[in-house]
Structure 1
């Protein structure tokens, strides 16, 4: 139990660090090509340093996540099968390749071809983030909305981090700040709009009284408060302090407020990492256990504790989704439902084990990455009792 909870905490931290590295990696290119090309020519070493640090952060957090996942599903021997034989691992490798392309472009080059190439590589990079988050499992409008949300937040937040790195009172910085201010108005509007859409898509209801009833909603509320603080601070910077600084001819008085805005942004990224690794609630207007696609298996068993029912279903990313509910004879949830262990077995490979804890409603949710397709045996262990199912995953 503790091992599973620790895995989720580490996954949230790694996701937050991945977002931070992504903002820096893409923000340098945006700043140097659209926001502050004059300033980037004056401070190329700072931007190169930020670019390399961000690329290493992206690579380190991604690869360590793959290594830790391999350990969770059996041993470090699953590291390369996870990367090469699962769609989630393939997206991770694609992300690293696109990140290397962004690093090779560097902070220079403002020609049309360089700008186009940076935009293509950047959107592809962000797509790999969306495809390995909740939006990737849903697809459709949720995926488009998540990609737009990431693009807006990177345009705003990534450019802010690069601007702060090159901050001084030179005319080139004032020009960059004016362009950033105009861009942020558009980016913030898209960021808030797509954020509300994604919140409604994943949570189903955005009323605080409803959100506070589940883990995903509570994290979403925390992120909303932080975003509101950033928006309020950005508004003060944009409409109060910036005009005052421009009239005085110096940006020195504005620097502490921009730094505070950047620090709040980093906090939001860590919170977003937690949100991306927290299971969204099930829609109330639908049954708690959903019918799967044709590749899923129905689970139903009568246990001494009550009736266990649900589904085992693989998705197109090579992940096995477990969705179960445990109810007593009257159909009510069990407050003290036992934990279970999800075990996947394939001939010729070590068993993959994952402990699964129930929520207060007696529901079980887990996502287990499988390194390859083919025939698998899936076991559910309840305090010595074993339920076993056969499952065929696409190659």
Structure 2
């Protein structure tokens, strides 16, 4: 019958064992993936360029090459401006074999010496854009100090933590729909079907409630998928037919078309079922399979899949969604299908129906919670590499809020399972008519017994619905979370946007000598500097007397020596009375810097210790380029195959990441044991 909510009438004692097998299998997959996957950043983020930032080359290269870490690039907008401010580049090309590489051809007959600025903006596979700029110089002329300062101020990359409300809202709608479509069919089969099919309880209205829930979830998913694509396409320009055409030509746009088709198909399927044109058994199976496919497209375009690894990232995200569906979708069935059916049932059957439904759902919920928390630890270890990311980034703050709500929902679930359920079962009659309790002819004890039933059922219903509300907010926050840059990207972008300036001061007779150096790798308390090799460094000296800058009566010079290499440059006077030059130090090692001048005729000679390192700091910064040779800039297009830019692997996981990975393993083990124990208890009771 089309109105029968039952999925099957198999021996229910065998169902817990199958649930246990599924639990062990899913959690084993997550456990293995969590141990082997490598934490990296998300979004497409500039990691290396050729020529490198600030490099001086002899001739104009035939092309500029940009290497990105994290996600691949689906669309690139890159322009190169020459010394005269004119654009000298052609349209960029994304490497078809490695989408993390973008090449920008330079027009023929360009040979002007001077500074070239590269402005870039790319759309990544996860649907987000990153942008920035860098520069290089052609010829032997010193770099312009003002231009270099402006380039450092702009930064090589920008991690914008703002979230589009339209994108976040659409993603939230999509996730709410997917979670419902995944969990409701399973909950109907496990919780409702076996129990309600064997009892003489009324089923009027149960089928209709299930149909309405599934149809509502399908509409939310389809609408969310459609609007999400429109929101993401705006990264390519104002919303128009031309923009949509360009968007659907990208892998992200093609995934969007699949999502829209699946969403529309699920709406059609649920509506047809509601009208009685399809069998409920086949419809529930079809809805679950379609929802699983839709969830797979969401996982395929997630931060984890595009930046970590296609397979492991997709599987972990998919299991995360499936676990959320089992937990939240099952609660929806318990709150809005089981509870009303229990309320309409024969009074003597109400405690039994509700208690049995809760016990069956407990196995499902425990499986879902374990999958969600285990994969949540894995995802956090990938995208929040340090504890500071939880409090200093928008992504981290949303994640903390989400975790707090999940904790509250778990508390409510524990109250329902271990407090209210025990109270309900202690009050319900036995199969033999409650022979363990004395009867009362005056009806007083029976009336109190019924009042206790009603109060307990009412409290369970309220608690379950409150838990549903909390999880609904959690899923909405997940939509916001997946629309924002991860904490790893936001932290790296913040560091990149703020080059550190070092300042050293000396008192000399009646003058104050101040040397400012930008950028430095790190600030030091003593009069020494830590600099990066081969990076253009702005040295700026100022002489003060009574707070006012004074002129040097002799040329101001900077001498740099590491024992093998000696560099001497003259600093040029600027409009603000200081003396500046741009000078890279080519090799790593210990350098001695000597600043000389003659403010007001008094000779000044000061020595500064400088440590030059090959990399900026001990932790990886996505904007830091690796030192490499550029003897020939007319590269063969196949040269990139010698390098692997697919995934950047940090040397060591941070202690915080290690803690999160341990949490994933512990949760998977404890949760699997809990699912097995709960399943065995349920089988023994039946």
Normalised by the length of structure 2, the TM-score is: 0.39
Conserved 8 A contact 1:30-1:159: yes
Question: 1:330 aligns to what?
Answer: 519
Q: Which residue of 2 aligns with 1:126?
A: 295
Equivalent of 2:215, from 52, 66, 69? 52
**Which residue of structure 2 lines up, in the alignment, with residue 69 of structure 1?**
232
- Alignment match of 1:32 (pick from 184, 188, 193): 188
Residue 330 of structure 1: SS of its match in structure 2? strand
Which 10-residue stretch deviates more, 195-204 or 239-248?
239-248
* 1:184 aligned to which of 352, 365, 373: 365
Alignment of 1:1-395 (within 5 A): 8-37=164-193, 42=204, 43-72=206-235, 73-78=237-242, 80-81=244-245, 84-103=248-267, 104=269, 106=273, 117-138=286-307, 139=309, 140-166=311-337, 167-168=339-340, 169=342, 170=345, 171=349, 172-205=353-386, 207=387, 209-249=388-428, 250=453, 251-282=457-488, 288=492, 325=497, 327=499, 329-331=518-520
Structure 1 unaligned regions, length at least 5: 290-322, 334-361, 365-395
8 Å contact from structure 1 (residues 233, 261) kept in 2: yes
CA contact 1:67–1:79 (8 Å) conserved in 2: no
Larger Rg: 2
Give the whole-Å Cα distance in 1 for the aligned partners of 2:251 and 2:360. Answer: 39
In structure 1, how many angstroms separate the alpha carbons of the residues matched to 2:231 and 2:394?
A: 24
1:50-108 deviation digits (Å, cap 9, x = unpaired): 22222111121221222233345223224642563222222223223334454526588
Once residues 234 and 79 of structure 1 are traced to their aligned partners in structure 2, the CA distance between those partners, rounded to angstroms, is 47
Is the 8 Å Cα contact of residues 181 and 288 (structure 2) preserved in structure 1?
no
Secondary structure of 2:488's partner? coil
Closer/same/farther in 2, CA of residues 327 and 123 from structure 1, 3 Å limit = same
| Equivalent residues of 2:299, 2:313 under 8 A apart | no
Alpha-carbon distance in structure 2 between the residues aligned to 1:202 and 1:210: 9
Could you say if the C-alpha distance between residues 84 and 288 of structure 1 is closer, same or farther in structure 2, counting changes exceeding 3 Å?
Answer: closer
Deviates more, 1:250-259 or 1:24-33: 24-33
- Helix, strand or coil: the match of 2:371? helix
Aligned pairs, how many? 295
Equivalent in the alignment of 2:86: none
User: Offset of 1:48 from its aligned partner?
Assistant: 1.4
Q: Over aligned residues, Cα RMSD in angstroms? A: 3.3
Shift of 1:161: 1.2
Is the alpha carbon distance of 1:238 and 1:121 closer, same or farther for their aligned partners in structure 2, counting shifts above 3 Å? same
Please list the CA deviations of residues 286-343 of structure 1 after superposition, one character each: whole Å capped at 9, or x if unmatched.
x958xxxxxxxxxxxxxxxxxxxxxxxxxxxxxxxxx97563622479xxxxxxxxxx
Contiguous gaps of at least 5 residues in structure 2: 1-159, 198-202, 429-452, 501-517, 523-620, 624-686
Aligned-partner SS, 2:402: helix
1:109-161 per-residue CA deviation (whole Å, 9 max, x = no partner) reads 676x7776555433222111112221221224332211111111111111111
C-alpha separation in 2, matches of 1:268 and 1:7:
17
